[in-house]
A and B are shown apart, each in its own frame.
Chain A
């Protein structure tokens, strides 16, 4: 059962897909200034499965918004495929968003509940320039995408998203990415709101999708076990900074940073003992 199926691949020589230098986000000013993301540098390579691990308040969601171009960095620069990213106008943003797409945490709020599922998928085909395709071709594309995530498109037509379960909705989100085929997929805690049994399915689909489309996946999570299971590279984030990053095996099994060590030791495990005796209740949490 414990034979590794996926081996650790080395991405250090792969071409850069998304990278950043000194990326900073500051909210407010004066006394109320909060530095959410504090001068972070990162290099995500093509085809890499990267996890950004951090607890709530670490700034990982703020960083993801900046990576997606939904908010602007206060300082620093983000490079897309080696060139500085330009999202200054609406048109340039649209171009950028052809290259980067996202799956969000809450499947129930990811869909416009007033739109049918067909509309969601048709939008993706149109965005990829498939507006002029025939009805039949579009239908085949949508069926194929649904097939990929083990859904039957015929059963979904004319249905609204809220008629599906959380797991099905999240799979539909993956189908959407399958149609869009972006260079980068940013997945912001896509499994934290779905059940354990559906989680495995979704993770498998993300891995298959990565191999099928050949894209970079940036996986944002608070669950270090999950990050270890799925990713090639892990970035550990604390208080707006990356305290440690590297290959998943190295970071998780031989952590260097104090924060990473604490994080790993505090997560309940099943083979190793979860040591409560060292916990001092009197320490200020």
Chain B
């Protein structure tokens, strides 16, 4: 036993998978300690806020300001404020005015603005340009003037007599230390469509999905193991009957069955545990088949015959003479079942047949939400890409562990 464990932990594949899986599990337990609270709490009103650090505008203006003379900061501000859309429009205007811009680099903000300054004339209407477009360029010009002006921002408050009194003047050279601002919020993965912290949701969803996988794997393994043991050991009619049922389950595509069962249960009844059980109920055939074939090769072994000759009962023979021999095999099957349970949940939820949405997030539900709110079309990668990455990592680590175990327990695979 000790030796077996030693061998298992000498297998680089198993150790690799184990470390990845352990890291995921640790994150699952440790992250909520630093960031407690309900993962489904809506912290933002808008949808799909980008990843980043958010400071409250109100608190920022209240905070003590320092004045810096940072000339390049002004340039950077201009460069950052001038969107690609604006730049393309400016080029379009130059072209319409038939100005030679062959030397102009669109990303060179200074040159672009200088060119604009020299050439823009609100009174001239370029040939073939619609009135609306002319107005658009007027508005663009105004906003450019605003950007350049660097005017002081005046913040006013209502005084004692009800009139607005200037309380604070903010100039372009004023800066706030973010540490001095209250309520700084870092969202490493932004928010989702409901304005919820994606990272927090992801950590919680990983936990739920692994629980679903474990439950589905346990259900599938228990059913598959008992059917496989009975069919393999008893043989004859029992074997034929169990294999008949197993074959039926094998022939009907498991996923279709899963969809039908999930659908007929109904949205309201589908908690995470129910979904996990349903996944387990449809996924046991593979375990049953392989356990059966293992047991058939074991049941004619001499030690089983000897155990029979010693008058041991059926249950005792199965528990002490057969189960320990296939234990390693069952553990490997269980790992694969967990992995496929997690994937099955993701698939189901993606189709909108997963657990009901109000209680807990799962990896599949997060993908479902991202898909429903078109995260993939509006470029909000943070709403679905990390989820895919986590599913892949879990699946990869479990399969790696399985391969490692297989190499230890199946000497023909050793290199």
Contacts of A113 in B (CB 8 A): 324
CB distance from B321 to the nearest CB of A (A): 5
Chain B proximity mask over A93-127: 1 for CB below 8 Å, otherwise 0: 11001101110111001111111000000011001
Number of A-B contacts (CB under 8 A): 44
Is there an interface contact between A102 and B310, defined as CB atoms closer than 8 Å?
no
B374 interface residue, CB < 8 Å from A? Answer: no
Least Cβ–Cβ distance between A243 and chain B, in angstroms? 28
Give the 4 A-B CB pairs with smallest separation, nearest first. Answer: A104-B302, A114-B324, A94-B311, A110-B302
Query: Is A101's CB under 8 angstroms from B309's CB?
Result: yes
Residues of A within 8 A of B (CB-CB), count: 22
**A72 CB to nearest chain B CB (Å):** 12
Give A94 to B317 CA distance when docked, in angstroms: 14
B121 to chain A, nearest CB (A): 93
CA distance A94 to B325 in the complex (A): 25
Q: Is the CB of B311 within 8 A of A109?
A: no
User: Which residues of chain B come closer than 8 Å to A101, judged between CB atoms?
Assistant: 309
Q: How far is the CA of A70 from the CA of B306 in the complex (A)?
A: 10
B152 within 8 A of A: no
With both chains docked as a complex, state the minimum distance between the C-beta of A193 and any C-beta of chain B, in angstroms: 11
Are the CB atoms of B311 and A70 closer together than 8 Å? Answer: no
Question: 30 A–B contact pairs at CB < 8 A?
Answer: A68-B305, A68-B309, A70-B305, A70-B308, A93-B311, A94-B311, A97-B309, A97-B311, A100-B309, A102-B305, A104-B305, A104-B306, A105-B302, A106-B302, A109-B301, A109-B302, A109-B303, A110-B302, A110-B303, A111-B303, A112-B303, A112-B307, A112-B320, A113-B324, A114-B320, A114-B324, A114-B325, A123-B312, A124-B310, A127-B310
Please determine whether A123 and B310 come into contact, CB atoms closer than 8 angstroms.
Answer: yes
Collect the chain B residues with CB atoms within 8 Å of residue A114's CB: 320, 324-325
- Looking at chain A's contact residues, the main secondary structure is mixed
B301 to A: closest C-beta gap in Å: 5
In the complex, A14→B204 CA distance in Å? 80
Contact A112/B308 with A104-B302, A105-B302 known, Cβ cut-off 8 Å = no
8 Å CB interface, A73-110 against B: 93-94, 97-98, 100-102, 104-106, 109-110
Chain A residues within an 8 Å CB radius of B325: 114
Q: Quote the shortest CB–CB distance from B196 to chain A (angstroms).
A: 50
Taken together as a complex, chains A and B put the C-alpha atoms of A98 and B309 apart, in Å, by 8
Shortest Cβ gap from A208 to chain B (Å): 22
Nearest CB to that of A182 among chain B residues? B309
Give A188's nearest chain B residue, CB to CB: B302
Chain B nearest Cβ from A21, distance in angstroms: 24
For B312, the chain A residues whose CB sits under 8 A away are: 123
Per-residue interface assignment for chain B, residues 292 to 306, with 1 indicating a CB less than 8 Å from any chain A CB and 0 otherwise: 000000000111011
Chain B 306-344 interface mask (CB, 8 Å, partner A; 1/0): 111111100000001100110000000000000000000
CA distance A123 to B302 in the complex (A): 16
Residues of A within 8 A of B305 (CB): 68, 70, 102, 104
Contacts of A112 in B (CB 8 A): 303, 307, 320-321, 324
Q: How far is the CA of A109 from the CA of B297 in the complex (A)?
A: 12
Interface hub of B301, B308, B311 (most chain A Cβ within 10 A): B311
Instruction: Give the docked Cα–Cα distance between A112 and B304 (Å).
Output: 8
**For A97, what are the chain B residues with a Cβ–Cβ distance below 8 Å?**
308-311
Which residues on the A side are within 8 Å of B303 (C-beta)? 109-112
Give residues of chain B (334-383) contacting chain A, Cβ–Cβ below 8 Å: none
Besides A106-B302, A115-B320, 15 other A-B contacts (C-beta < 8 A)? A68-B305, A70-B308, A70-B309, A93-B311, A97-B309, A100-B309, A102-B306, A104-B302, A109-B301, A110-B303, A110-B306, A112-B303, A112-B320, A113-B324, A127-B311
Set of chain A residues within 8 Å of B308, measured between Cβ atoms: 70, 97
Residue of B nearest to A111 (CB): B303
